[in-house]
Structure 1
Amino acid sequence: MTFSAVIVAAGSGSRAGPGQAKQWRSVAGKAVLRWSVEAFLAAGASDIVIVTTQDGEKALADALEGLSGWRAAPGGVTRALSVQSGLAALANRPGNEPVLIHDAARPLLTRAIIDGVLTALESADAVLPALPVADTLKRAEPGRDPTTTSREHLWRAQTPQAARRDTLLAAYAAWVEGEPTDDAQVVEAAGGRVAIAPGDPLLMKLTYPEDFAMAERLAGAARITRVGQGFDAHRWGPGEEVWLCGVAIKHDETLIGHSDADAGLHALTDAILGAIGEGDIGDHFPPTDPKWKGAASDQFLRHAAELVAAKGGAIVNVDVTLICERPKIKPHRLAMRQKLAEILDLPLERVSVKATTTEKMGFTGRGEGLAASAVVAVETPA
């Protein structure tokens, strides 16, 4: 099912304490807003509109650096007006397409929540993820002792809340009761049927300073580490230089291949693709396609890294081993590490390049070709 998303990121977040608005602050090394954008991209959102203030546009660009598939819209003085601004920005989308309205302050959004909301929308006018209230509730009015309130049939509403775009626009146009608390309430007031989808305790809203410490812990618990491995080999042929791990090395032979035959980059690309279950390099860049004839292999590696980011993941570290009798790799190893670190936007200490020989055995030992192997660790949402 195709869908669009509106992320409300126009609030000042004054209750979160001094400093930047909470949507621009960091949780587990990423801006709060970026978590949700990456989750929507990984789930296949057709369009993502982020509603923010004019002052927030610079912070927005910084927070989402390297990500595509999103655009900004001006925020309103209230949340309801910001949501309507986001819906207006989606005027190019079909009126019956589902739109998921999400608060930027809920960073730990998962694919399961998105899928659950979309599924429930098939038989409802609006859907919200929610959790049943588990704590005992007390009502404490000024000057009176606390009294216990029944928690039966009470739910804690979360976002993203979903409805078809036309439904939301009509419901907001008909709303006359003051500031609504959420989008499902607006559809409900217009006579629409609202359904509840399973919520997630991890999808907490960051409101107070102490919430950020909790989110840091939850972000680690909600992610897993995946390991991928890759291998590539090319034969030697006539030439004057060879490309290895993005570095050109003067040599009396070159590696033969459809692209630039950079075995190091090819092995590493396959390792990343393997870690996220996206096939191999040939699936994305077929050697039968003349478009890739002589192509620089760094674009293959960048593509694999972008796929990781689109899934809400991050590359933790990479380790490449080049297997050859010659050329000597050690004089070029630092340059190779620096190039890989640049392509993958990693600290140098997380990038390893090594070399070994096969003691004159096999095709590499006989000088017939060169091989490379790679291992990568990738962290993704669970």
Structure 2
Amino acid sequence: MKPANMAVVLVAAGRGVRAGFETPKQYQALAGMPVATRTLDALARLLPDALIVPVIHPADQVLFDAAARRSRARNLHAAVAGGATRQVSVLAGLKVLHEEMRSDIIVLIHDVARPFLTEQIILRGLNAAAVDGASVPALPVADALKTVDAGGVLTGVIDRGSARVVQTPQIFRLGLIYDAHLRAEAAGLTDFADDAAVAAWAGHPVSTFAGDPDNVKLTTREDFALAEARLLSELSDIRMGAGFDVHAFGPGDHVVLGGISIPHGQGLAGHSDADVLLHALTDAILGALADGDIGSHFPPSDPQWRGAPSRIFLEHAMKLVRARGGMVAHLDATVICEAPKIGPHREALRRSIAAITGLDIGRVAVKATTTEKLGFTGRGEGIAVQATATLRLPAGAPA
């Protein structure tokens, strides 16, 4: 099966209320990266040429865009607005594929809250769907199954021998599952539990293939805690890097620090926007990666970086970390100057750096000090910044 003959409907319109987070669970950080980003990365790694159609809640566009920018997904369709139920959301994604692709392609319908996709489950699913046109991953049930009444009293037994726990991705020929969804919609049925149920209701046999116990759906806070522990156990190479940068004052009426503009009687001189704070943080990350310094990645002799916003440099360093399968665990910076006063802007600086890096603000520290009128900063000639970055990389990551 060629990846170009496949597409993915990524179901991401839910609210995730059982997880109990302030934001929908798909945008909750998991070991430093939003769940949606991790799932997009998994799909991009396993199906690099497949078109991904995300279906999101209309209120989540900004959150999804931020997660998508951090991902390595390159064949990503514009997000589609979902509906009141999962079934309605899936149909919205299928309609896009029906309009843009052939009906004989294979479509994988996957929950965004399952970030632990593997090559094995994809291959098993594609092989099954190529034969049957409708196939879903399933796991046998180990525990005894009972029915209960409204008061929680046991009322019966379910034969676990024939019971299965069904996962995603659920895999179909596009024409088959699109037609089944249209028929269900026409019948006024909009709340089937999953796409296998829609296909079966429409009269299509749905085969199963071996699921993966690790392909868990993140539903509760406990699920998140277990998933984060699993990811962090795989990121056992802990590194620290240091960064230091200085920029002299020059003409101007503001300085750019941490990606924000702070009013001041002078500006900072430099080839880019002279954001000394972001420069030091960038060098700290590059140091932890043992990957040169900011000048080796963005030579000041190159005119394309003249006046460039320094967030480009920090975003580049973050991409290098993600390319190695790692995460930035913490950033810490100390701004050294007599003026401007950093304290009133501290939280704005932290928020800005967190937004640029995609880190939780609790992983970003900004401090300030003076040199008691000593040295060039004490004489008010410029600003210096010291920074450290703590990274977690997979064991055996290149030096």
Corresponding residue for residue 113 of structure 1: 117
1:198 to 212, 216, 220: 212
2:93 to 73, 86, 89: 86
Give deviations 1:179-234, integer Å, cap 9, x for gaps: 86532455675356542331337425x4xxxxx45446446545538765352546
Partners of 1:322 and 1:354 within 8 A in 2 = yes
2:343 to 309, 334, 347: 334
Residue type matched to 2:27 in 1?
R
Distance 2:350 2:43 in 1: 28
Corresponding residue for residue 13 of structure 1: none
Distance 2:390 2:53 in 1: 29
How is 1:251-266 mapped onto 2 (pairs within 5 angstroms)? 255-256=269-270, 258-266=271-279
What secondary structure, in the 3-state scheme, does the structure 1 residue paired with 2:128 have? Answer: coil
Residue type matched to 1:334 in 2?
G
Partners of 1:7 and 1:101 within 8 A in 2 = yes
Partners of 2:19 and 2:221 within 8 A in 1 = no
Residues 233, 42 of structure 1: alpha-carbon distance in 2 compared, 3 angstrom cutoff: same
Distance 1:130 1:380 in 2: 32
Cα drift, residue 87 of structure 1: 0.5
Q: Could you tell me which runs of 5 or more consecutive residues in structure 2 were left unpaired when the two chains were aligned.
A: 29-34, 45-50, 69-75, 395-399
TM-score, normalised relative to structure 1 = 0.62
Cα drift, residue 250 of structure 1: 5.5
What secondary structure, in the 3-state scheme, does the structure 1 residue paired with 2:331 have? Answer: strand
Residues 309, 166 of structure 1: alpha-carbon distance in 2 compared, 3 angstrom cutoff: farther
How is 1:235-246 mapped onto 2 (pairs within 5 angstroms)? 239-240=250-251, 245-246=258-259
Cα drift, residue 82 of structure 1: 3.9
TM-score, normalised relative to structure 2 = 0.60
Distance 2:87 2:165 in 1: 19
Matched residues, number: 342
1:231 to 243, 258, 263: 243
Partners of 2:273 and 2:307 within 8 A in 1 = yes
Give deviations 1:129-184, integer Å, cap 9, x for gaps: 44331102346799xx9666553464311233234534533565688998865324
Give deviations 1:247-278, integer Å, cap 9, x for gaps: 57656x9554x423433212313545788999
Residue type matched to 1:23 in 2?
G
Distance 2:242 2:105 in 1: 40
Same amino acid, percent of matched pairs: 30
Cα drift, residue 297 of structure 1: 1.3
Residue type matched to 2:194 in 1?
D
Residue type matched to 1:203 in 2?
K
What secondary structure, in the 3-state scheme, does the structure 1 residue paired with 2:366 have? Answer: strand
Residues 65, 312 of structure 1: alpha-carbon distance in 2 compared, 3 angstrom cutoff: farther
Corresponding residue for residue 31 of structure 2: none
Residues 318, 80 of structure 1: alpha-carbon distance in 2 compared, 3 angstrom cutoff: closer
- TM-align CA RMSD: 5.4
Partners of 1:127 and 1:163 within 8 A in 2 = yes
Asked whether 1:131 is paired with 2:143, we answer no
How is 1:12-91 mapped onto 2 (pairs within 5 angstroms)? 22-23=15-16, 27-35=20-28, 37-43=36-42, 46-50=51-55, 57-58=58-59, 60-61=60-61, 64=64, 66-68=66-68, 71-75=79-83, 79-91=86-98
Distance 2:107 2:212 in 1: 18
Distance 1:123 1:320 in 2: 51
Partners of 2:264 and 2:340 within 8 A in 1 = no
Residue type matched to 2:54 in 1?
V
Q: Could you tell me which runs of 5 or more consecutive residues in structure 1 were left unpaired when the two chains were aligned.
A: 11-21, 207-211
Corresponding residue for residue 71 of structure 2: none
Residues 371, 43 of structure 1: alpha-carbon distance in 2 compared, 3 angstrom cutoff: farther
Partners of 1:73 and 1:89 within 8 A in 2 = no
Residue type matched to 2:52 in 1?
D
Corresponding residue for residue 162 of structure 1: 171
Corresponding residue for residue 101 of structure 1: 109
Residue type matched to 2:309 in 1?
A
Cα drift, residue 71 of structure 1: 2.0
Distance 1:223 1:354 in 2: 34
Distance 1:97 1:267 in 2: 49
Distance 1:277 1:171 in 2: 54
Give deviations 1:306-358, integer Å, cap 9, x for gaps: 999999999765311457xxxx357533256344223125659952234588x
Residues 342, 292 of structure 1: alpha-carbon distance in 2 compared, 3 angstrom cutoff: same
Distance 1:264 1:160 in 2: 43
